[in-house]
Chains A and B, each alone.
Chain A
Amino acid sequence: MTWLRLLRAEWTKFLSVRGWAGGVAVAALLILLFPVVGLGGSRDQASPVPIGPDGEPVSDSYYFVSRSLSGDGQITVAVNGLASTLGTPWAKAGLIITAGSEPGARYAAVMVTGGHGVRMQHDYLHDRAGSASARWLRLTRGGDTITGESSVDGRAWSRIDTVRLPGLATTVRAGLFVACPARVQGVGTAADTATAEFGTPRLAGAWSPGEWAGAQVGAHTPGFAGYAPGSPGSFTASGSGFTVAGAGDLAPATRGDVPVGAAAGDLLLGTFPALIVVVVVATLTITTEYRYGLIGGTLSAGPSRGRVLAAKATVLAGVTFAAGLVATVVAIPLWLRLIRGLGIFVFPAPPGVLLRAEVGTAAVLAVVAVFALAVGTVVRRSATAVTTVVVTTVLPYLLALVPFLPPPMAQWLTRFTPVAGLAVQQTVIRYPQVDTVYTPANGYYPLPPWAGLAVLCGYTVLALGLASVLLRRRDA
């Protein structure tokens, strides 16, 4: 039989069993309709999520000791000490110039951190490392460009970065700031407060006369994790400088910061019920042949046993990919519009990322179907085959979700088991300058999308190889 006729034979078999085509249709429907369970409940939040200049959600909260700067100017300060109650590595203390007081406003800052040395950051997304040991900081404004420098001794300065804040008004607030994100502990976080000892700031340029004013910025934004118990934000002046305690963060917001927010990847949760249905159908396409002895006819009609398996795999992969793609391509835009209409905050994702999640999910369904076909060929018993595939493609994800399991195990499970393929569904971004709970439960996978899919494909290729060897060696 030619390859095309072989394909047609398998295609006809697939269509002629009503339960199989029906099963794939059910799988697609599950993906399409599943997000409905997420609609209930209240996702109200006290205040809107601040949106940064690049359109991304941000955390914008910190203790600010400020004065007005009307024009060009410079501020220099020594950070003599920085400590936080829980020792958060991204505790920050330094100098900042902000474009405005509304949440999500542009800013540029140079800072000492708890565990990452001196950094210059601006507009939430941008982070540049400076010296690890410097303790003197300087911020210089000229028009809308800001230069950050650091120094070990306050005499020899090295520039970290020069950045532009487009549209910066002439009069801005600038001064000292202290921020401290929540400390990540296992799969949870604990609020933390940082306390910094500053020397007396040296000012040059167009600073308005007046006193330093201290206040917590963004205390009511959703991303503000609060203070460590018993250590509120404060600001005290002494003869030799200021002691400032504060909490919060200036950074892109993650799922951990906006728990009421949804990610587009969440809308694909129907993948799991769909996977189980697809696994059952795919297993049956081979085990049914063994059960009814049809396999003898199939193998004697085809010239090569390997090609019979390949034809089955092609039909299965094609059907599940097509059905899955239709479901995901319809489901994501539809449900995104719907939940945005309900006022639920959704983490933004560019169209390319959404398309990758849609195509990737269809690919995961197709590859798992082929995996199930291969396992079914190897073990020849439906129940054993279905269980093997479900235990390797669904159970590890469940275990990674279970909160009482140690977090390294969750990382391991989503990196080295077939579940790694679900990385294609990640639509949120992992930021190196933000420590948060980067777990699959929050929509973050340890592997990049296509690498994750490659892991799943690797297991499938192995199973397929074993299946074709056994199919050739065994009687049938």
Chain B
Amino acid sequence: MSYSGERMLLSSQRESRVSRFRFWVMLVVPLAALLFQIYVPLFFRFLSFLDLPLLVVIYLAVMRRNPVTGLLMGAAVGLAQDSLSKNPLGMYGIVNTLVGYFAASIGMKLDVDNLTMRLLLAYFFYILHQFLYWIMERALLRHLPPFDWQHWLVLGILNALVGAALFHFLDKLRVTA
């Protein structure tokens, strides 16, 4: 497994490769990400900026290159996050659904094995995730969260970096043809 460092866009559909994962991977990896999200910050509070469930969704959606799978994965992970938070069920669910869908859709056009692309995708979808959640809070919860875009940009970079490493790790779990 090697990152292609020359091209970011695929010239044809045939060049895109659908990564396959075992079922337990599709199940355990999101659960592990959720567990990390709720457990690790208890001991390492500074790690609370990480959004591992989101990064897992982005990765699985991009690599699966199937919007339906991506959105279902996003929905499942998002609802699980909602269940473990004080938010009403559906807040993270809707946002992650949209992220999973768009990630899968974009992943079909891009060379998702490219490192830079992975960084950009992780960064972009993290920002998108934050923005959508901000809108959802305002629209549905009638909250007035601050539009802290600078904070988002910084955290986006951090998550993108962590995501790139995570993606590299998850690549090990792909089913080789």
A complexed with B: no
Interface residues of B (CB under 8 A from A): none
